[in-house]
Structure 1
Amino acid sequence: MDTPQISAPSRAPSSGVVHINTRHTSRFTVVGNHLTQHSELSLTAIGLAAHIQSLPAGARIGIKHLAERFPESETRIAAALRELEAHGYLKRTRERLPSGRVVTRTVSYNQPVTGATPAGAPRPQPEPEPEPEPKPKQQPQPQPSPVRPAPAHLPRPETDKPAPVPAPASIPAPPRPSLPEPQVHDLDRHRTALDLLADLRRHEPRLLLGEADIHRLAPAVAAWFERDAHPDAVRRTLVADLPGSLTRPAGLIAHRLTTLLPPPLPTAVPAEEPAPRHDPLQNCDGCDRAFRAPEPGHCRECRTDLEEAA
Structure 2
Amino acid sequence: MAASGFGKRSAPDQAPRTRDDFAHLPAREAAIAAHIDRLPDGAAVDIKTLAKEIPAYGQQAVQTALNNLSDAGHLRRIRETGSEGRTQWVTRSYFSRTARDDAWWEAFLSDGDDASAPAPAPAPARSVAYEALVRLGRTEPRLSLSAAECSALEGLAHEWLRRGIAPDDLVRTLAAGLPGVVHHPGAFTRTRLTEKMPPEAPSASAPPPSRRRVMECTGCGVPGRPEALPGGLCRGCRGDGPGLEPTGPAGVDVRAYVSELRALARTSR
Which of 1 and 2 has higher RCO (CA within 8 Å, sep 6+)? 2
TM-score by length of 2: 0.29
Larger Rg belongs to: 1
- Structure with more of its chain in helix, by fraction: 2
